[in-house]
Structure 1
Amino acid sequence: MTPLDTAWLAAHPLPGPEADTDKNARGRVLVAGGSETVPGALRLTGEAGLRAGAGKLQLATVERVAIPLGVLVPEAAIFPLPANADGELGDDAGAALRGYLDRCDALVLGPGMGAKASAGPVLKAAIAEPRADLSLVLDAAVIAAAADHVADIQAHDGRIVLTPHPGEMARLMRCDEARVAADPAGLAQEAARRFNATVLLKGSETWIACPRKGLLHYPGGGPGLATGGSGDVLAGIIGGLMARGTGPRIAAAWGVWLHGEAGRLLAERVGPLGFLARELPGEIPRLLARPG
């Protein structure tokens, strides 16, 4: 086990933009998910992607909230997706989403999706055709659906990051939560091998496992991060870093550190509890400029 600290980050730097870079060279991140119940989740994920340095942002969500989301996030292109009767992404959303994938370098799938979303069909469509120049973050409701698509995820040759919390990890690995609590590090490594993916088991402390790589451990950014929308921000940071050309393991590690340290900064300024998930992205550029 290796601690995820500033020494590790210094040894594994992010790709830096060239002086003459433009927004296309910095990559395009597409965030897909949301619902009529949680229409603002993609705002959190998308802003985090931009704050992490992605050049372009695209948001794909249920059609009835797409225009208000576009007004809320004027930096983003907005793509509507079909909804079901519960206001969640429906069965036809996967086919529509596939039509947008050639326009992005990284896909973040799942933020804001609830239990009544058609997570399985949407995930199946999104991962059906692996592409060497497309990385993915699978978050929230699609993590449980991933348990039925092991071979399809493996086919992406390590370009996928899974971000479960303990309950999602239990569903992903089809085990009880007691096993997750008893051996989080071992289970994260087992999941990474099973899916041939980077697995980020998040909680009060975070474990990052990747096949054929050492296990990373981050002790946590404080209890204030246990708030609604915090995970959406983390997924967006990782997606933004991957859109810039960062490999999945390094993007996951930097994402965890940036998210946790943003929580520490807000705890010092606002208080240990009570800061909001939407306040986290604003801390990222300063942390990127001067890690540690």
Structure 2
Amino acid sequence: MSCLPLDEAWLKRHPLPAIKQGADKNSRGRVLVVGGSEFVPGALRLTGEAALRAGAGKLQMATVQSSALSLGVLVPEAAMIALPADGDGEIASNAATLLTDRIAACDTLILGPGMSTTAGTKAFLIDLLDRLCFSGSLILDAAALVVLREYSPSGGGLGDRAILTPHHGEMAALSGLSLEEIRAEPAAVAIEMAARWNAVILLKGEISYLASPDGQCLVHSGGCVGLGTAGSGDVLAGLIGGLTARGSAASLAAAWGAWIHGQAGKAAAAAIGELGFLARELIPVIPALIEGTLNSLPRSKTVQRP
């Protein structure tokens, strides 16, 4: 299976849309992150902060009530939505009704970071997916990916601006294939799943494969071993979500997100060490990496949201 390399030459041909000078926070998009649990209360901090560092203008985070206040203090830039929890400390299965209006008002929804795949979270996620009725971008990560295999859309489905970000284990759960089958033909698997779900697929790994529903495929090998650490995927989901919120198409945001995430890992490795840097240490360098990469490329068309 032939894939084009995701490198500086590709980025030069596909720059991010520029933000108009003087644009306010509304024009840079609104991100809603839904996830977390009592067991993993901090995942949304990583995702939310990465979305803001990528340039999103507004951030809301929805998580279990016991974690919402402390998370809001940790991320004072975000508005918090407290959701009921079930006996497992996960978002309760009946919580989807509380998010309908919030989702309708956002530009990007990131769903799944910090959640486990219990019976209750499956019911919550499937109910929420069935209620989706908005024209924004949808990023599915972690538990939300595992649930998809059991999801049969009753309405409009995922839409054409969905991005799925599985690692190999999540791809196995999503596709029904074994890890060995995925490792043997990762590009083919990513392309097949992109077509099946009419979504952009970023199959994460030491070498990552980015597939679009039309069959196009990119391969990215620009990361580092230290990125295989807890919370790294939460940062990547937020980074991609922030790029979609500020106006990037799904495939473009996923490509730039993968590239910047890899470059952030290299920067952390150089400053701290190849192993042992923390996922949260990737976040502060995101703005400079985006700006530096954009400044080395031709100027693109300015985008401003209504």
- What TM-score range do you get, normalising by the shorter chain? over 0.9
CA distance in 2, matches of 1:288, 1:248: 17
Tell me if structure 1 keeps the 8 A contact 2:130–2:157. no
Note the alpha carbon deviations across 1:12-66, whole angstroms, 9 max, x for none: 1111111120000000000110011111110000000000000001000001110
What amino acid is the match of 2:236? L
SS across alignment from 1:231 = helix
What amino acid is the match of 1:69? L
| Corresponding residue of 2:160 | 158
Find the partner of 2:209 among 188, 207, 210: 207
TM-score (structure 1 length as normaliser): 0.96
- Gaps (5+ residues) in structure 2? 297-306
Show the 5 A alignment for 1:78-157. Answer: 78-116=80-118, 118-131=120-133, 133-149=135-151, 151=153, 155-157=157-159
Runs of 4+ aligned structure 1 residues displaced above 3 Å come to: 129-132, 150-157
CA distance in 2, matches of 1:245, 1:132: 15
CA distance in 2, matches of 1:118, 1:99: 22
After superposition, the Cα gap between the structure-2 partners of 1:188 and 1:85, relative to the gap in structure 1 and judged at 3 Å, is: same
Deviation at 1:6, TM superposition (A): 1.1
| Corresponding residue of 1:172 | 174
- Gaps (5+ residues) in structure 1? none
Note the alpha carbon deviations across 1:122-175, whole angstroms, 9 max, x for none: 322333255453110000011010112254697343211011110100010012
Tell me if structure 2 keeps the 8 A contact 1:110–1:141. yes
Q: Relative to structure 2, which stretch is displaced further, 124-133 or 231-240?
A: 124-133
CA distance in 1, matches of 2:57, 2:200: 24
CA distance in 2, matches of 1:115, 1:121: 10
Note the alpha carbon deviations across 1:173-221, whole angstroms, 9 max, x for none: 0121111111111000000010000011001110000111420000141
Q: Which has the higher contact order (CA 8 A, sep 6+)?
A: 2
TM-score (structure 2 length as normaliser): 0.91
CA distance in 2, matches of 1:117, 1:52: 33
Tell me if structure 2 keeps the 8 A contact 1:47–1:281. yes
Show the 5 A alignment for 1:175-254. Answer: 175-254=177-256
Tell me if structure 2 keeps the 8 A contact 1:153–1:195. no
SS across alignment from 2:26 = coil
What amino acid is the match of 2:208? T
1:26 aligns with 2:28: yes
What amino acid is the match of 1:13? P
After superposition, the Cα gap between the structure-2 partners of 1:269 and 1:154, relative to the gap in structure 1 and judged at 3 Å, is: farther
What amino acid is the match of 2:197? F
After superposition, the Cα gap between the structure-2 partners of 1:117 and 1:276, relative to the gap in structure 1 and judged at 3 Å, is: farther
CA distance in 1, matches of 2:75, 2:119: 23
> What is the alpha-carbon root mean square deviation over aligned residues?
1.6
Find the partner of 1:49 among 23, 48, 51: 51
CA distance in 2, matches of 1:122, 1:153: 16
| Corresponding residue of 2:304 | none
What amino acid is the match of 2:104? D
| Identity rate, percent | 51
Tell me if structure 1 keeps the 8 A contact 2:29–2:245. yes
Deviation at 1:89, TM superposition (A): 1.1
| Corresponding residue of 1:263 | 265
After superposition, the Cα gap between the structure-2 partners of 1:153 and 1:183, relative to the gap in structure 1 and judged at 3 Å, is: farther
